[in-house]
């Protein structure tokens, strides 16, 4: 997936943090190694990992529901995070939609809103998973 003009990478926070396209077909984004991201153990801080994962979940939404971008507002409602292994070096992300896309389209058309779940996994360069998360987005039509 190549982040385009409507990418979450245009958001000031994501640019500030340094989230970039992964340059890999199997990953969405990357967060390059940076000493500013380290915690007291010398591994990538949980907050830096969360920022990468949240941006990835938003990108999955934009990519999957690009036909609704101008008519809805997504708001992160809930996140469930599990840190699986210490992260070190550059981290990469992947994400997958857990909610049936057809149901989302129907809910937006009939109710003006929908709940959308996205699962994200972060990996090291060696493809070791460091974090998995499920993000639940509340999406509402702007004219609802």
pLDDT in tens, 36-47: 999 999 999 999
- The chain-wide mean pLDDT, for the chain, equals 93
143 falls in which pLDDT band (50, 70, 90)? confident
Q: Where are the beta strands (DSSP E) in 2-127?
A: 19-21, 29-31, 72-83, 91-97, 113-123
Instruction: Give residue 1's pLDDT band: very low, low, confident or very high (50, 70, 90).
Output: very low
**111 Cα distance to chain centroid:** 25
pLDDT of the residue at 137: 97
Question: Has residue 3 been placed in a domain?
Answer: no
Q: Are 6 and 69 in contact (CB under 8 A)?
A: yes
Q: Does the residue 15 lie in any domain?
A: yes
Does residue 45 fall inside a structural domain?
yes
pLDDT one-digit tens code per residue, 76-123: 999 999 999 999 999 999 999 999 999 999 999 999 999 999 999 999
CA distance linking residue 57 with residue 99, whole number of Å: 12
Could you tell me if 95 and 28 are in contact, meaning their C-beta atoms sit under 8 angstroms apart? yes
Q: What is the domain extent for residue 69?
A: 8-141
Whether residue 2 is contained in a domain is answered as no
Residue 2 has pLDDT above 60, yes or no: no
Lowest mean pLDDT among 29-38, 67-76, 82-91, 126-135: 67-76
Q: How many domains does the chain have?
A: 1
Specify the CATH number for the domain of residue 57. 3.10.129.10
pLDDT band at 128 (very low <50, low <70, confident <90, very high): very high
Mean pLDDT along residues 28-57? 97
- Would you place residue 67 in the very low, low, confident or very high pLDDT band (cuts 50, 70, 90)? confident
Measured over the CA atoms of residue 4, residue 11, residue 51 and residue 19, the dihedral's sign is positive
Whether residue 16 has pLDDT greater than 90? yes
């Amino acid at each position: 997936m190549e982040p385009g003009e409507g990418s979450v990478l245009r958001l000031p926070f994501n640019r500030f943090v340094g989230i970039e396209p992964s340059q890999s077909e199997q990953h969405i984004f990357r967060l390059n190694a940076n000493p500013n991201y380290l915690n007291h153990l010398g591994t990538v801080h949980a907050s830096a990992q969360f920022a990468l994962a949240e941006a990835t979940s938003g990108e999955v939404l934009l990519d999957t529901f690009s036909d609704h971008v101008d008519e809805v507002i997504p708001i992160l409602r809930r996140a469930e995070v599990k840190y699986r292994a210490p992260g070190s070096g550059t981290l990469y992300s992947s994400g997958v939609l857990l909610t049936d896309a057809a149901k989302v389209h129907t809910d937006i058309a009939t109710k003006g809103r929908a709940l959308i779940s996205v699962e994200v996994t972060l990996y090291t360069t060696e493809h070791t998973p460091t974090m998995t998360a499920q993000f639940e987005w509340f999406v509402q039509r702007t004219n609802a």
